[in-house]
Structure 1
Amino acid sequence: MNSMKKITFSKRFPDMPIIGSSFAGSLDHVIPLSYGFPAPESFPLDTMVTATERAMKTQGSGAMSYTGGSGISNIVNWILKRSELREVYANKDQIIVTSGSMQAIDLVARTLTDPGDEIWIEAPCFFGAIRTFNLAQVNLRSFPIDENGIIVEHVERALIEATTLQQKPLPKILYIMPNYHNPGGVNLSVDRRKKLADLAYEYNFIILEDDAYVELSFDGTYLPSIHSFGPDRVIYLSTFSKVIAPGIRLGWAIGLSEIISKMRILKTDGLTSVYVQEVAYNVLEQLDIASHINNLSTMYKTRKEAMVAAIKEHFGDEVSFVSPEGGFFLWVTFPQGVNTSAFVDDAMTAGVSYLDGRHFFLEEEGYNTMRLCFTYCNEEKIKEAIKRLAEIYYQHLRSLPMEEAN
């Protein structure tokens, strides 16, 4: 028998670390604060059952067929109407329904960039976006965020330097998560939103506005979208994953029709499932969406408050964080010199998982940070998880040589 020759893989694979805590689901004793998931009990299961039956009865074989264009008309119309609440105004030529918002990120990157082009991102940044951009073989450059989102002055300075000093090329895309940032939990201020839109016009780049968490405001207030300040320079993304269920895999992109038409051509799955779109539309028709989102926000606010209280009780002034006003995540910063990657495995052994912050950065930074999700687990589990996390952290500190612990 011939010996098996080594298989060679594409050079496109991004150099991404394995996130150990992503395996927490296989360990029954682990309370998974690493998951970026909605609460399973929030899924409108009864409504989805009746919506599925209704879709099949009303649409029949049509729900199981191919369709062209950007999405079925009912779901497209619903999204366009809903988007107006975020001051995003568009017509049917300016929208494409995708298999989750991650597909939309991929389509935008492949539509607007070639290998070697520049995409600018936030630091920290959603690691799924980093992975997708790496697959597009672009050059990434990151800019820090603070409690008001990306620091626009740093972006403007880089744009000026790229133009006048020609030190680095201008970006094709600036990727921004303006509301309830993943992982930072912060909101981009209105002044910064407007300034970014102005810069996009001045320096001719596209802002990719990823608004996955926009509906989950704890006080029911919403900031204007970046798209509202620069509709010709912004592609607006959102998703049903956070308010209905992630398993339906439905997202969308809204932008200039000339961009959207090119994205349709690159959509390698042919079309987003007609069946899923029909079911989702019937869910939206039957569900009191305002009441449903209010219930979600109330539940998640309670869980966030439980997490904040537990962190204050068990960590005191040892850590810092911004208490988010919505979304899924709380971003915790430990003292300089702490490496949260060093005790992630010990934490899972003790029964709690988190995402160590290094995964959200391009450079060698973020080692003293972690992302905690407060939506997936109930308050009692959250309190116990934070207690376990604190025990492991202080145990880790005691195990370090004196000079490192200090």
Structure 2
Amino acid sequence: MKELQPFKMSKRFENVKLISAAAAKTPHDLIPLSFGFPAKEAYDVSLMAKCSSKAIEEGGYKSFEYGGATGPSRIVKWLKKRSEIRGIYAPEENILVTTGSGQAMDILARGLTNEGDEVWVEAPTFFGALRNFTLAGLKCRGFEIDENGLKVDLVEEALVAAKNNGLPMPKFIYIMPNFHNPGGVTLSLERRMKLAKLALAYNFFIIEDDAYTELNFSERVLPAVYQFAPQRVIYMSTFSKTIAPAIRMGWLVAPPEIIMQLRSLKADGSTSVLMQEIVAAYLETIDFDDHVGNISKLYKSRLDAMIKAIDDYLGDEVTYTAPEGGFFLWLTFKEEVATSLFEELALEKGVSFILGEHCYAENEEKNHIRLCFSYCDEEMCKEAIKRIAEAYYEKYPVKKLV
């Protein structure tokens, strides 16, 4: 047989990074604080099996056709009603169900922009969003966050400078206002209102990624940014954090002209109608408020255990803002620390995390790590922090671990 010649792969995406924590060979007893998985206890496997059978039996053969039975329309009605909690009052035709939030970001990036356009993001931001925007050929510019979320004053300054000097304006600004990934912070009400006003004044869209909003540890529920500028805000969320990531189901709320544009880019036509049938049956069976309340209590307990371990083992070596919900804690070491220097050692000790540098579009900061507290129980969270501390002190021996 003739020997095959080497095949030349595409060079279009050479700048897309592989995150090492995703590919590393690790011990069997690894404690994964890297990727954002829900807790195993959050899944009601038996109930989901019953709802699957119910959906198929009630929908019959239509459940297996392209259009499905009534599940897709029931999902949209449920989403419309649920959105009102956050001040989103939109007709059903303004809601588009997507195959996960990843597809939502993909079609938004391609539908709102041309290759080479500039988009603005938080610094840090979700590395998955950066990946989607890079694949779409966009230029990302980052703006700092603090304990109150995106520093909107910096955005305003940049908009004024761009307008006055003929510099590129953003086609959209991507934000995570509630329980930010990775920062854990929440955008203040004042900043939400101001950012919405800027979008209207400077004619850009805000992509409001609200993936973690249901996982709230406090009594505080802030209105969506969408409420203040529905003409220039696209709201998106997902069932991956509240039901299960494997169902691959998210959604968008946007003006009708945007929905029409996005439908044309949705290569799979319609998100799995069979899964929409099943999820509709599931949502109609459970008390959703009780469900998200219970898993939020579980995650708060795990966060508290992680924070106590950080205080015990790392103390003044790090700073953080305790999140009021979500999955993630953003840990900041001193400026001279490069967390990549002890990442491999931590993996050898059996714990993974995400390097903070992956969460920056530009001007990468090297002294952060992102920790997921949702998946591991309290004892595993404590042990994971102990192992991270051991790895850190081996590279930066400022004191001995007690």
**What secondary structure is seen at the aligned counterpart in 2 of 1:322?**
coil
Structure 1 pair 268–14 and aligned structure 2 pair: CA distance change class (3 A): farther
Post-superposition offset of 1:398: 3.2
- Residue 30 of structure 1 aligns with which residue? 30
Amino acid at match of 2:275: V
- Superposition deviation, residue 28 in structure 1: 1.4
Inter-partner Cα distance in structure 1 for 2:380 and 2:374: 11
Equivalent residues, number: 397
Which is worse superposed, 170-179 or 359-368?
Answer: 359-368
Equivalent position of 1:331 in the other structure: 330
Q: Is the 8 A contact 1:25 1:32 kept in 2?
A: no
Aligned to 1:295: 294
2:303 aligned with 1:304: yes
Counterpart residue identity of residue 260, structure 1: I
TM-score, structure 2 as length reference: 0.96
* Equivalent pair of 1:24/1:32 in contact (CA under 8 Å): no
Shift of 1:17: 2.5
Q: 1:5-404 residue pairs with structure 2 within 5 A? A: 5-13=5-13, 15-23=15-23, 27-67=27-67, 72-166=72-166, 168-398=167-397
Indicate conservation of the 8 Å contact 1:101/1:237, yes or no.
yes
Identity of aligned residues (%): 50
Tell me if structure 1 keeps the 8 A contact 2:16–2:134: no
CA distance in 1, matches of 2:373, 2:56: 36
* Aligned partners of 1:339 and 1:368 also within 8 Å: yes
Which amino acid in the other structure matches residue 140 of structure 1?
Answer: C
Shift of 1:144: 0.7
The answer on whether the counterparts of 2:26 and 2:347 sit within 8 Å (CA) in structure 1 is: no
Alignment partners' CA distance in 1, 2:204 and 2:257? 15
Cα offset for 1:18?
2.2
- Taking the aligned partners of 2:270 and 2:14, their CA distance within structure 1 comes to 26
- Matching residue's letter, 1:118: E
What is the alpha-carbon root mean square deviation over aligned residues? 1.6
Cα distance, 1:352 vs structure 2:
0.9
Runs of 4+ in 1 over 6 A off after TM superposition: none
Distance 1:153 1:290 in 2: 36
Q: CA deviation at 1:320?
A: 0.2
Distance in 2 between the 1:292 and 1:207 partners? 30
SS at match of 2:180: coil
> How many Å separate the matches in 1 of 2:149 and 2:140?
18
1:4 and 2:4 matched: yes
Q: Measure, in 2, the Cα distance between the counterparts of 1:190 and 1:364.
A: 28
**3-state SS in 2 of match to 1:208:** strand
Alpha carbons 2:27, 2:348 under 8 Å: kept = no
Note the C-alpha offset of 1:220.
Answer: 3.7
Q: 1:98 corresponds to which letter in structure 2?
A: T
Moved more, 127-136 or 212-221: 212-221
Q: Is contact 1:20-1:345 (8 Å) kept?
A: no
**Residues 1:99 and 1:224: Cα distance change in structure 2 (over 3 Å):** same
What displacement does 1:25 show?
8.3
Normalising by structure 1, report the TM-score: 0.95
Q: Give the conservation status (yes or no) of the 8 Å contact 1:14–1:131.
A: no
Q: Which runs of 5+ in 2 are unaligned?
A: none
- Tell me the alpha carbon deviations over residues 190-232 of structure 1, each in whole angstroms, 9 at most, x when there is no partner: 1100001000000000000000000000024211100001100
Deviations 1:95-118 (A, max 9, x none): 110000111111111111010111
